[in-house]
A and B are shown apart, each in its own frame.
Chain A
Amino acid sequence: MAEMAHEHAAHAHAAPTGFVRKYIFSLDHKVIGIQYWLLALAAVLVGMALSVLMRLHLVWPQAKMGWLETIFPAGAAGGVMTPELYLSLMTMHGTIMVFFVLTTAPQSGFGNYVLPIQIGAADMAFPVLNMLSFWVTFVGFVVMIAAFFVQGGAPLSGWTGYPPLSALADAGPGQAAGQTLWIVSLAIFAVGALLGALNFITTTLDLRAKGLSLMRMPLTCWTWFITAILGLLAFAVLLAAGILLLMDRTAGTSFFVPGGLILNDKIVNHSGGSPLLWQHLFWFFGHPEVYIAILPGMGVVSQVLSTFSRKPIFGYRAMVYAIIGIAVLGFGVWGHHMFISGMSPYSSMAFSVLTMAIGVPSAIKTFNWIGTLWGGKIRFASPMLYAIGFVSLFVTGGLSGMFLGQPSVDLFFHDTYFVVGHFHMIMGVASIFGMFAGTAYWFPKMFGRMMHEGLGRLHFWLTFLGVYAIFGPMHYLGLTGHLRRYSELSGFKFLSQNEPLHLFMTVAALITVGAQLIFFVNVFWSMFKGRKASENPWESTTLEWTVPSPPPHDNFGGKVPVVNYGPYEYSVPGAPRDYVMQTDPEGIRTGH
């Protein structure tokens, strides 16, 4: 059955010749993967620019920036940023980064490009659906950006969009058309994510090559597969919540708005809804979303650490169980975002235990990564540097979660910069280091050329030091009780005392963002001028390294690969080379 499906997919569509069908409305998973990846690159530029503006405003709230008025005539009249513009930049920064970068590149980008090749398939199971998911996501991005340019500007209710702030158009500038577009964009994005998730699950289950049992899949495939399941369950809930919120705003319903509210001296015409309902629905999506962002990065890092240590991954089965454990527990911890929300204090205890429990599989992964390095013969190419950086950041960002997972301690740290530092370290920067590792590792396969190694290393060092300099101090801020989402610090003594630390972070952010230029130059220069890449430049073992760089339209040139080995057979005693490809002929004695 699986083989029949595979045969079918291999011949489902011939290589197109026209530009539009080849590069724009392409059905080829490789083109779609690169499209997602480019969309994430565009989105990360926007998201980074917004963060720079926020950092500048926090340190110099009265600074005059004439050009800012050109972009935001209302929000920056006279060139000075208003508090409401700051909040809308913050909202859009979070939303764009979480959805269009962290969800888009690691899963939809690399997953689309690499998963079918790694399992020996010619394409995804549903190529047309695949094309649709990308273009739906693209439309979602356009709608999101449009929110900047409507009357009132972008919404200011944060990426979490808590009602009633997000439900009532009179609650502030940006809460009218801007907030509506924001919700519509998220709903569109959720549809794209659901279509993608279906495709990933089906592809993984049905299109694997002969001999590629689940327990022989590279850990990257495991993370894309499990992430797709998370996406299917989580985005369905976000979609529903978004539609309900939209109806509260436009159709006169009251799912999230209770009665008896007064806004701008007027009685709000709603009754019977619950703001907590939104928080439950949002975080039921929102916490698994954290794992949607980071699991694929964990897969890439496992792959890279094993390859560049020239050693099998330490504890493959434990890694797989840890991925599954994280996913299952990940659906039972959303309440830790709501310890101060007024939810029952008894349920806080349950959420707390589950939250701390999820630290266990995360710790298993960390131990296994270090175990993989231990006894290895490490090659320091840039993908490896990013992967090592990921482990450092993951440890740091994971451990700060131990404070926030306990309701008693969270009472103090909730809504402070401690939280901002925590999730930027782990969900933001660690995931992004996973993307850097993925880019550096698969770039030769994707574009047939190597990235510049010197630029790669320079970018790694500057970025690694930079992100610690930006997000490390946020934990110190949190210790002083420093609240997040404050556009100015001057109104409170306990906030303004930290202005020097903010200045340090802003300078670090400017340098780090500047250093990203190196990455972009490296990517686009190497695409055209980089050294030609061989089929298997890293001497890796998985299936994508058995085909030319870049691979032909149907990946395997009409041949059907047969898998004989596990994914990480490095330094096998008695083998002819220090790596055994998964498709090497049988006869080598391996332990897996």
Chain B
Amino acid sequence: MAFLTAAVLWLVAAALAIPFFTRTWWLPEAISEHARTVDGQFMLTLVVTGIIFILAQLALGWAVFRYGGDRSGPAHYSHGNNTMELAWTTATAILFIGLTVMGGSVWAKVHFQGAAPGAMQIEMTGQQFAWNVRYPGPDGKFGALDLKQINDQGGNPLGVDSKDPAGKDDITVPTMPVVVGREVELTLRTKDVTHAFFVPELRLKQDTVPGLALKIHFTAEKKGRYELACAELCGLGHYKMRSYLEVMDQAEFDKWMQEKLAEKQQQ
């Protein structure tokens, strides 16, 4: 029984740990400097917790194996050892708090500092169950919004105020084209319930909170079309609330913008 129990404890722990070495399932590609820093912190945490995991499961299995067989004589009478208590308390405290302090700088970079001046302004608004991505157009200014002018069918899902000149050149689309290597300052809003912006390749996730306009920033460094999903339960259509982050070069982006502006003129 002792051997069987220990063997199963070890086998289960090994089975759980192995895919972390083989990377059969792994983090998606990282397409920003921030994403790579997060991955670094993840790897550090994985190494620290991985070592503790293996040692703890080994020790558990060993204790069961060593002290579970047909031993002669009584168990060792002991109420513990204060030196050991102190040692492992201090060691874990240093390790765990050290980890979080190191991770703090990664967090600070993306959340304590805003975007640099001149970042591309984009606003993303969630609604049950779609994303609306708005660009300020050539004037660089978003038009004011008016709840009463919201008209999903009529092509004004956000209610851009028709009387505000700044809104005349606003472009609202369902996906998010951005320029490769150029920083984006993204303002996140919602029309109804809480949603969340998530692009796995950016390692960024942020709730869109009713009543708030939250800003995050990122710089995508690799061209491509990346899935953008809602990460906060928002109702029955949560599973299909999809958009795309489309990372293109400046020329492609300009061409796309010109086309959208021309379409807008015709309306």
Contacts and interface: CB of A to CB of B under 8 A. Distances in A.
Same complex origin of A and B: yes
Given A409-B42, A464-B8, A315 B81 contact: yes
16 contacts: A172-B235, A262-B127, A262-B191, A263-B128, A263-B191, A340-B207, A353-B100, A367-B84, A371-B80, A373-B63, A373-B67, A378-B2, A412-B205, A491-B239, A571-B74, A578-B75
A368 B236 contact: no
A314 B63 CA distance: 13
A171 B242 CA distance: 19
Between A87, A345, A375, the greatest number of chain B beta carbons within 10 A of the residue's beta carbon is seen for A375
B97 A315 contact: no
Contacts of B27: 412, 479-481
B79 A412 contact: no
Between A162, A356, A498, A578, the greatest number of chain B beta carbons within 10 A of the residue's beta carbon is seen for A356
Contacts, number: 333
A465 B15 CA distance: 11
B191 to A, nearest CB: 5
B262 interface: no
B119 interface: no
Contacts of B88: 363-364, 367
A468 B76 contact: no
A135 interface: no
A162 B41 CA distance: 30
Nearest to B237: A83
A54 B233 CA distance: 16
Given A83-B236, A352-B104, A414-B205, A370 B59 contact: yes
Interface string B36-76: 01100110011011001100110110011001100101111
A119 to B, nearest CB: 21
Contacts of A403: 42, 45-46, 49
B227 A494 contact: yes
Interface residues of A, number: 117
Given A171-B193, A310-B75, A388-B9, A356 B234 contact: no
Interface of A: 82-84, 87, 156-158, 162, 164-165, 168, 171-173, 257-263, 265, 267-268, 273-276, 309-318, 340-342, 345-346, 348-349, 352-353, 355-357, 359-360, 363-364, 366-368, 370-371, 373-378, 380, 385, 388, 391-392, 395-396, 399-400, 402-403, 405-409, 411-412, 414-416, 461, 464-465, 468, 472, 475-477, 479-481, 483, 485-489, 491-495, 498, 501, 570-573, 578, 591-592
Contact of A415 (B45, B46, B67, B205): B205
Contacts of B239: 83, 486-489, 491
B236 A340 contact: no
